[in-house]
Amino acid sequence: MAVLVTGGGGYIGSHMVWALLDAGEQVVVIDRLSTGFRWAIAPEARFYEGDIADTVLMRQIFSENEIDSIIHFAGSIVVPESVADPLGYYENNTVKSRSLIASAVEAGIPHFVFSSTAAVYGTPEVLEPVTESVSLKPESPYGSSKLMTEIMLRDTANAHDFTYTALRYFNVAGADPKGRSGQSSALATHLIKVACATALGKRQSMSVFGTDYPTPDGTCVRDYIHVWDLVQAHLKALQRMRAGGGSLAANCGYGHGFSVLEVLDAVRKVHGSDFPVTFAERRAGDPAMIVANPALARQELGWVPEYDDLNGIIRSALDWEQHLMRKNAH
C-alpha cells in the first residue's frame, strides 16, 4: 500500500516524504510546484505534477497506485496574506480540499491526515495551553479556511467509510536532522526563518510585529515545534488509523510558549551575533498567544517528541539556511 502526500514539494510535505520512506512506506506525491520544489521531493517517491482539484488526474493517481492513505499538506499558510486575499485562501485551502476529499471518497481511500493549524483557535479565552475542546474562533481567513476543512472531514467521516486525523500544528520550524530538507522558500515569512536569514545577513533587517499585546513582554507568544517531531506525529496518526483507530483532531505543539523577543534573543545566542530589528505595528490576523496542550496527541497517537528545545530548532534552521546559501553560491 502507498501513501499519497499532497504538497510533497513544500516545507513540511518534503519532510513527510522522507519520514515515510525512512519508515519503509511507498510514497506518491502530488504537487503543482507553485511554492514547493521538485528537488525537495525524494527521488524514491513517485511524483505527479498537478493540482489536487484536478479530478481526472486524481482518478489517474488512484488507478495507477495502491493508495490507502492521504496526507494532505497542499495549501496556503501565510496569515496576513489570507487577510488580504480571503477568497484565494478559501479557494486554495477549502474548495480544493473539498475536491480532494470527494476524490478520496470516490476512490474508497479510507485514511486521511490533514494539516490543520492552531489558528483554528484564535486567541483562547484563558491564556493557558489549549486543549482540543476549547471553542474554535479563528481570527484569520487562513484559520477559517482550515477549520472549514476540518468540518468537511468530520461530516464526511460520519457519512462514509472514511477516517481522518486533523493535526493542529503550532509553529513549525527547523529542518530534517539528516539535512535532506528544510524551509527553502525565499518568500517564507515565518519568524524563525526570517530571523535566521537576518542573522546570516541574507536579509538587511526584520520587523517585530506588535509590542503592545497583553503578554509578558508585549510581543506574541507561540509554541515552536520541530518539523521532524511534527512529521513523526503524522506517521503515528497513520499507524493508529490503519490499526482501526477512529477520527481525531489533535494538537501538535510542545506546550511551552516563547515570545517573539525571546525567539530573537535565542537566535542571537545560537548564532553568536546581533542583527538589526525594527519595531512595527501589529500584523493583521495574529492572535496574542497560542500554546498547545499536547496531551491528546501523546495519549492517542503515542507521540513522544524528541526535539523539544528552542535552541536546537534554531540551530537546525540556521544550518539549513547556510546550506541554501552555499547551494545558491554555486
Ligand X SMILES: O=c1ccn([C@@H]2O[C@H](COP(=O)(O)OP(=O)(O)O[C@H]3O[C@H](CO)[C@H](O)[C@H](O)[C@H]3O)[C@@H](O)[C@H]2O)c(=O)[nH]1
Active site residues: 142
Residue 40 C-alpha cell reads as 525537495
Selected range binding ligand X among 93-101, 147-155, 187-195, 321-329, rule: CB under 6 A: 187-195
Which CB sits closer to ligand X, 62 or 170? 170
In this chain, which stretch among 33-41, 83-91, 206-214, 306-314 interacts with ligand X, using CB under 6 A?
Answer: 206-214
Cα–Cα distances (Å) from 258 to 96, 126, 158, 222, 306, in that order, read 34, 17, 38, 6, 18
Name every residue whose Cβ is closer than 8 Å to that of residue 325 and which is 6 or more positions away in sequence.
200, 202
| Cα gap 27→22, rounded to integer Å | 11
- 224 near ligand X (CB under 6 A): no
117 lines the binding site for ligand X (CB under 6 A): yes
Site string for ligand X, 11-50 (x = CB under 6 A): ----------------------------------------
In whole angstroms, how close is the CB of 202 to ligand X at the nearest point? 13
Give dist(CA 113, CA 165) in Å, integer: 5
| Residue with cell string 544550518 | 319
Interaction of residue 283 with ligand X, rule CB under 6 A: yes
Residue 103 touching ligand X (CB under 6 A): no
In the complex, least distance from residue 233 CB atom to ligand X, rounded to whole angstroms: 14
The site map against ligand X for 260-279 (x = CB under 6 A) is: x-------------------
User: Does the protein bind ligand X through residue 153 (CB under 6 A)?
Assistant: no
By CB under 6 A, is residue 194 in contact with ligand X?
yes
Question: Could you say which residues in the range 67-86 bind ligand X, by CB under 6 A?
Answer: 77, 79
Phi-psi domain of 191 (left: phi exceeds 0; alpha: psi -120 through 50; beta: other): alpha
The residue from 190, 236, 271, 315 that contacts ligand X (CB under 6 A) is 190
Q: Tell me if 251 contacts ligand X by CB under 6 A.
A: no
Residue 212 contacts ligand X per CB under 6 A: no
How many residues belong to the site for ligand X (CB under 6 A)? Answer: 21
Task: Please pick, from the candidates 144, 171, 181, 232, the single residue that binds ligand X as defined by CB under 6 A.
Answer: 171
- 51 vs 81, beta carbon nearer ligand X: 81
Binding site for ligand X (CB under 6 A): 77, 79, 117-119, 169-171, 189-191, 194, 206-209, 220, 222, 260, 283, 286
